[in-house]
Structure 1
Amino acid sequence: MNKSVFRARRSGPAPFAWAALTVGAIVLAGCTIPAPGGGGGFGGPSAVSRAGPLDGNWSDSSGVATASLLNGRFVSVANDTGNRVAEGTYTYTSRESIALDYFSLLRETRIRANCVLAGSTTLNCTNDSGQQFQLIRRSGVG
């Protein structure tokens, strides 16, 4: 009987330890570091999003498409048809820079890019394959 009592006691703390680890992991997973203006933190936009300094409408430098940055969501539409050409997310990496992660509906590929504010109306971006592009803030926005 002593052995069965010993086994019961020995196995007793393990479920509590796993429960504590699980609760700890859930708490840590819920932690985010807010970006400037509340644009999100690591892992995406925060639950209570506020407009950040780069939120708004931006056009590509060729004028073919307009990109909307709002509360961690990125959507780009063709100016001639109004059709969606890309969609994804962005996170602030600093007050004046963002990391884009989106899916090109035209190329059917996932693209990541880093963009940095250059002046008050231009975002200079470089995608994960090294291609550079610019987004120009639309007038009357932001």
Structure 2
Amino acid sequence: MRARGSGPARALRFLAVAAGAVALAGCTIAAPGGGGSVRAPSSAGIIDGAWGDTGGVATASLTNGRFVSVANDTGNRVAEGTYVYTSRESVALDYFSLLRQTRIRANCVLANPTTLNCTNDSGQQFQLVRSAAVS
């Protein structure tokens, strides 16, 4: 999703998206056949690292189950929460938007090594791209 506008409005929009993504991080999904929850093996970490929104508004860090997003222009934290691997190449985000004061959940799937396709609990789709500057 490409943010429109500038300044606080863009940061607010990113925070809302980021907050939704983090909110889903605390969730697990049912395994096929009703066999319980799916958690990635401890060696999984393919999604861990730094990710930016496609509008260049903020950068999100996914590290050791923690999700933190900061505005690129100010460095201020705009969202924080958790994430959990639901498979080797997907995560559920569960986060809180500090700008909107809203809890957001999102599911993200690794489309390729540099792109995460995400859908928040409201059905809004967005992409995160791997940041080369921060890992």
Q: TM-score, normalised by structure 2?
A: 0.68
**8 A contact 1:65–1:79 mirrored in 2:** yes
Q: Aligned to 1:118, what secondary structure does the other structure show?
A: strand
CA distance in 1, matches of 2:133, 2:44: 16
Question: Going by fraction, where is helix more abundant, 1 or 2?
Answer: 1
Tell me which structure has the larger Cα radius of gyration.
1
- Partner residue of 1:53? 46
Figure out how many residues of one structure are paired with residues of the other and give that number: 99
Post-superposition shift, 1:35? 1.9
Indicate which of 41, 55, 65 corresponds to 1:62: 55
What residue in structure 2 maps to residue 5 of structure 1?
Answer: none
**8 A contact 1:56–1:70 mirrored in 2:** yes
Distance of 1:65 and 1:76 partners within structure 2: 7
Q: Which residue of 2 aligns with 1:15?
A: none
Stretches of structure 2 that go unaligned for 5 or more consecutive residues are 1-36
Determine which structure has greater relative contact order: mean sequence separation of CA pairs < 8 Å that are 6+ residues apart, divided by chain length: 2
Deviation for aligned residue 1:51: 6.8
The residue type paired with residue 72 of structure 1 is G
Q: What fraction of aligned residue pairs are identical, expressed as a percent?
A: 78
Matches within 5 A, 1:1-142: 35-36=40-41, 38=42, 52-139=45-132
Q: TM-score normalised to the size of structure 1?
A: 0.65
Shift of 1:34: 5.2
- Aligned partner of 2:108: which letter? C
